[in-house]
A and B are shown apart, each in its own frame.
Chain A
């Protein structure tokens, strides 16, 4: 028997056991197995359950363990359930569907959870857990944790990481790889000949034995091409540490899905065994918060790193809730069946609403205070016990939810509320540690704590949406409505408190307020925050005090305010901006950078008058950028427009720039899907020949020339946003002069904004 200390690195099910990889402290990578059969529960009519148990046993899919008692999620009361052990976890999904179809009256619990998750819940372990293991002949004998997943200061294993890049194409459905580069600690290996690539890469992986292969597009392009190449050349390519039992299927198509009003694309997954493949382009967590954020979520959610890297952040919060339910013996239904109770159309009107927004007072305001509620929605759920099973529970009657009168259970603490509490607290701890690191000048610690708290922030952000998400295990529309109702009440109370203290509310947007008071003293803000916190039972914090802040009107209807379009400069000179061009993903980098430069310069102004005085300087800068655009000095790559496809490229029919570019992509045989990003350049926006108006970035060559007029219009549009508070507008419609650089200048009132007529032509040419 041997003892090893290290970290749990990877785990997956194979043949009635869990394969566990440990990254030992001494650098060794240890593969151990632990026999494991996930436990599933059955409920429903006893005769159906008994018949199903017999069938499960007869087919060898599961071993019945007999009847037991578990807790019902909705009532909190014990209920009888038949327990089974799944014998072949790899084949369970198919078996489950078959048995569910044959026995439709049987209710299944904990039935569709991946075996790795079940293992982590049952054994109380988690990925990247520091532990001591005893083992013999490749079998795990015992595992002793040496760390707590709620700890804020934990060590992570030193990992051997390589970066893999490839150049090639998937054009016309025929994958080609022109070159392949592997980088490791400053060394690079490049292969240019197809016959060398697979062999060379395989040898390098064998020699370096990396823990992590990092790619950008490995799921959508690189690994599909490599596996297709291996299939074609019959080369036994295996990038895993542990060879898979079945040959990999080459998949190039992922899935497009709809989320929060947008079509998103998820590339197919190429996860490895015993080694991680992490694709920056196919991982929200990795691209936002790096390895530190990814590790934090994997530990808390008890999900293998490669899985959580490729899943939405909601999967993480859901897994935390599932783990809690599992360990408390709560039955987790396979199919979500709890329906919404009948409500009248009037009740629906009252309850089916979002957060409260007070439209902003458009214009430039000075000395504005912004107060933000700290994690408002998660705190409402946690403090007010909002959880699917606690809203309108059968045991209480109290009409506690404001406006809509829903009852909140007084006898039970909700599962969702309890799951959120430690996450909120942990994030507060990380923020304090981050501030401490900033004071001490420790940049590495600052970056680490920032990434971890940011990862938790995303978890908390999506927990509210998950409460109303139809596929969420612990989601229920009434709970979602209750949270919104509470948030509206809290903003109303906040306004009352502010006004009682002589403050005027300029704007409120769901969880934050912008207020002003002539000649206020800074100490008053702390007092006001305390009063609001006491009056609402929620923590509120000062976001900052603006020297000046501009609330912009709508572009389409200039006399209408827009809640999320503003920019301003805090007293320390930092700028905050929302809803303007430089926040948009579909604007070229060149234009966004130009607008940011204007904003940074404007931030130097002490007040609105100072801002107006800067206009000549700002216009000079704009004129210089216009000259660069006209004379072709702007770098082509900074002029690329990137837009997310809302449908498959072949389905576009219009003549807008995006439609034209999408059709070019379809004609060129690019394997793009709805939700993927399309990159193109405006080449001749007004050309009668529509095919010449845009050029797909991938098809751009030495003859591709950006259309200066189109980009100057975009530039002026972005500049006009910054110039608006100063009452200046550049003409966005007239074709810019070809030789001389001049800017048409029109005085206008900040409240009238741009003329709608000016936008029409631009809309046709712009993204």
Chain B
């Protein structure tokens, strides 16, 4: 994940979680920046400590470490009801490491995604960020599918501006928001704690007032919030 784009995501996360109980970040791209959280708190007239003690991080430096984190350390605090939100930052980053065989990367990614789906079914609230992977590599499919049906937030750039893009169908539709305005709405893109099962997840998402990205390059209105796959309010 590009560092500037990741800062945008972190800034958005920070604002969104100022009044949350706890946030657990799994950092797969070495982009976690505690200053982003401290700054967000100060901008709202709060002390940095207000948020710094409630945000937790673990950094993975290999795909196998990432797999171990997902399998052994999630959900944090043993998956208690109404547990904290888990943010996976730069999920794709380590899987782009070409010194590892593609088959091995694909196998581990599939395992990671399987585990994430399992976590989601048990009520863990997940936020996943990744960069759009090269289309010709097929092993990204589980990650893109996960993003498509769960409303994963992706950080990227368009015409020099930082955006948060929520995927609706895994391709290029859905909505785009300017982060400064839309950062607080990040939570709204998360699947609700009681996300539907596999059946619901296969249902096509509903879009309201969105403009496809890449068809003329227009952006949807900033207030266009995607409704979740099962039609519940976000």
Contact = CB atoms under 8 A, between A and B. Distances in A.
Given A104-B111, A349-B52, A342 B73 contact: yes
A225 to B, nearest CB: 27
Contacts of B64: 335-337
Contacts of A100: 104
Interface in A639-674: none
How big is chain B's contact interface, by range?
20 to 34
Nearest to B56: A342
Interface string A340-383: 11111110110000000000000000000000000000000000
Nearest to B59: A340
B69 interface: yes
Nearest to B103: A101
Interface string A465-484: 00000110000010000000
B137 interface: no
A343 B26 CA distance: 11
Nearest to B24: A342
Interface in A289-344: 335-344
Interface in B41-73: 49, 51-62, 64-69, 72-73
Interface residues of A, number: 21
A343 B58 contact: yes
A97 interface: yes
Contacts of B34: 345-346, 348-349
B203 interface: no
B220 interface: no
Contacts of B67: 337
Contacts of B73: 339, 342
B53 A344 contact: yes
A339 B73 CA distance: 9
A175 to B, nearest CB: 26
B65 A346 contact: no
Contacts of B51: 345
A226 to B, nearest CB: 28
A97 B59 contact: no
Nearest to A342: B56
Given A101-B103, A348-B34, A338 B57 contact: no
Given A104-B111, A348-B34, A342 B58 contact: yes
B32 interface: yes
Contacts of B61: 470, 477
Contacts of B4: none
Given A339-B69, A339-B72, A346 B53 contact: yes
A8 B107 CA distance: 42
A338 B64 CA distance: 8
B58 A344 contact: no
B68 A338 contact: yes
B101 interface: yes
Interface string A403-424: 0000000000000000000000
A340 B69 CA distance: 8
Contacts of B101: 97
Contacts of B59: 340, 477
Interface in A547-605: none
Contact of B68 (A339, A349, A477): A339
Contact of A339 (B24, B38, B65): B65
B58 A339 contact: yes
A335 B62 contact: yes
Contacts of B65: 336-340, 470
Nearest to B72: A339
Contacts of B49: 346
B212 interface: no
A345 B34 CA distance: 5
B97 to A, nearest CB: 10
Nearest to A472: B61
Contacts of B54: 344
A258 to B, nearest CB: 11
B196 interface: no
Nearest to B66: A339
Contacts of B58: 339-343
B35 to A, nearest CB: 8
A346 B104 CA distance: 35
A345 B52 CA distance: 5
B37 interface: yes
B57 A97 contact: no
A318 B141 CA distance: 37
A759 B104 CA distance: 50
B2 interface: no
A343 B60 contact: no
A335 B107 CA distance: 14
Contacts of A335: 62, 64
B28 to A, nearest CB: 11
B211 to A, nearest CB: 31
B192 interface: no
Contacts of A339: 58, 60, 65-66, 68-69, 72-73
Nearest to A98: B103
A422 to B, nearest CB: 29
Given A345-B34, A345-B55, A348-B32, A337 B107 contact: no
Interface in B103-130: 103-104, 107, 111
Interface string B12-34: 00000000000010000000101
B76 interface: yes
Given A337-B67, A345-B37, A346-B52, A101 B57 contact: no
A477 B65 CA distance: 12
A348 B69 CA distance: 17
B196 to A, nearest CB: 29
A101 B104 contact: yes
A104 B56 contact: no
A101 B107 contact: yes
Interface string B65-93: 11111001100100000000000000000
A349 B69 CA distance: 21
B52 A344 contact: yes
A97 B58 CA distance: 28
A470 B57 CA distance: 17
Contacts of B66: 339
A108 to B, nearest CB: 11
A343 B68 contact: no
Nearest to A257: B99
A349 B64 CA distance: 25
Nearest to B94: A470
A98 to B, nearest CB: 9
The 7 closest A-B pairs by CB, nearest first: A470-B61, A345-B34, A346-B52, A335-B64, A345-B55, A345-B52, A337-B68
Given A341-B58, A345-B32, A346-B34, 16 more contacts: A101-B107, A336-B62, A337-B64, A338-B65, A338-B68, A339-B69, A342-B24, A342-B57, A343-B56, A343-B57, A345-B52, A345-B55, A348-B57, A349-B34, A470-B62, A477-B59
Interface of B: 24, 32, 34, 37-38, 49, 51-62, 64-69, 72-73, 76, 101, 103-104, 107, 111
11 contacts: A101-B104, A104-B111, A339-B73, A340-B59, A340-B65, A342-B56, A343-B57, A345-B55, A346-B34, A348-B32, A470-B65
